[in-house]
Amino acid sequence: MDSRTNLLNFDPEGLSEYIASLQEKPFRAKQLLRWIHQRGEADITQMSDLAKTFRATLLEKAEITALPIISDQHAADGTRKWLLDVGAGDAVEMVYIPEDDRGTLCISSQAGCAVNCRFCSTGKQGFSRNLSLGEIIGQLWMAEHTLRREPHAIRRIDSYDGTPIVEHEGRVISNVVLMGMGEPLLNYEPVVGAMRLMLDDHAYGLSRRRVTLSTSGVVPMMDRLANDLPVALAVSLHAPNDALRDELVPINKKYPLKELMAACMRYLPFAPRDFLTFEYCMLDGVNDTDQHAKELVELLKRIPCKLNLIPFNPFPESGLKRSSTARVQDFAKRLMDSGIITTVRKTRGDDIAAACGQLAGDVQDRTNVRERMQVVKFDRGVLDS
Ligand code: SAH
Ligand code: SF4
Pocket flag, ligand 1, residue 183 (CB < 6 Å): yes
Percent of the chain's residues with pLDDT above 70 = 85
pLDDT of residue 149: 85
Helix (H) or strand (E) holding 142: helix 133-148
**Per-residue confidence band for 54, with pLDDT thresholds at 50, 70 and 90:** very high
- Ligand 2 centre to CA of 251 (Å) is 10
pLDDT in tens, 187-213: 999 999 999 999 999 999 999 999 999
Residue 110, amino acid: Q
- Ligand 2 centre to CA of 223 (Å) is 20
Which bound ligand lies closest to the C-alpha atom of 180? 1
Of the candidates 313, 276, 297, 374, which has an alpha carbon nearest to the alpha carbon of residue 121?
313
Pocket residue to mutate for ligand 1, from 279, 307, 358, most atoms within 8 A of Cβ: 279
Q: Is the pLDDT of residue 380 over 80?
A: no
Percent of the chain's residues with pLDDT above 90 = 79
Domains of the chain with CATH codes: 5-63 (1.10.150.530), 69-372 (3.20.20.70)
- Cα distances (Å, whole numbers) of residue 28 to 51, 54, 84, 213: 10, 9, 31, 31
Q: Are 232 and 226 in contact (CB under 8 A)?
A: no
Q: How far apart are CA 8 and CA 240, in angstroms?
A: 40
pLDDT of residue 261: 98
Q: What is the mean pLDDT of residues 13-28?
A: 96
Q: Give the residue with greater pLDDT, 383 vs 2.
A: 2
**Per-residue confidence band for 2, with pLDDT thresholds at 50, 70 and 90:** low
Our answer to whether residue 356 is catalytic in this structure is yes
pLDDT of residue 284: 98
pLDDT of residue 95: 96
pLDDT of residue 151: 61
- Ligand 2 centre to CA of 299 (Å) is 22
Q: How far apart are CA 354 and CA 152, in angstroms?
A: 21
Q: Is the pLDDT of residue 29 over 50?
A: yes
Backbone φ and ψ of 359, nearest 5°: -60, 130
Q: How far apart are CA 170 and CA 155, in angstroms?
A: 8
Helix or strand or coil: residue 341? Answer: strand
Tell me which of 96-100, 161-165, 191-195 is least confident.
Answer: 161-165
- Cα distances (Å, whole numbers) of residue 143 to 82, 83, 127, 275: 9, 12, 25, 29
Tell me which of 123-127, 169-173, 233-237 is least confident.
Answer: 169-173
Atom nearest to 235 CA in ligand 1: 8
Pocket residue to mutate for ligand 2, from 107, 116, 215, most atoms within 8 A of Cβ: 116
Q: What is the mean pLDDT of residues 211-240?
A: 98
Q: Are 185 and 191 in contact (CB under 8 A)?
A: yes
Our answer to whether residue 13 is catalytic in this structure is no
Range 204-216 burial, b when 16+ CB lie within 10 A, else e:
bbbebebbbbbbb
- Ligand 2 centre to CA of 361 (Å) is 13
Q: Is the pLDDT of residue 44 over 50?
A: yes
pLDDT in tens, 325-370: 999 999 999 999 999 999 998 877 777 666 655 555 444 333 333 3
Tell me which of 22-26, 42-46, 154-158, 336-340 is least confident.
Answer: 154-158
Residue 7, amino acid: L
Helix or strand or coil: residue 115? Answer: coil
Atom nearest to 311 CA in ligand 1: 24
pLDDT of residue 316: 83
* pTM of the predicted structure, to 2 decimals: 0.90
pLDDT in tens, 59-87: 999 999 999 999 999 998 889 999 999 99
- Cα distances (Å, whole numbers) of residue 18 to 51, 62, 305: 17, 11, 41
Within a 10 A sphere around the Cβ of 68, how many other Cβ atoms? 10
Helices 188-199, 12-21: crossing angle, 10 deg rounding: 90
Backbone φ and ψ of 205, nearest 5°: 60, 30
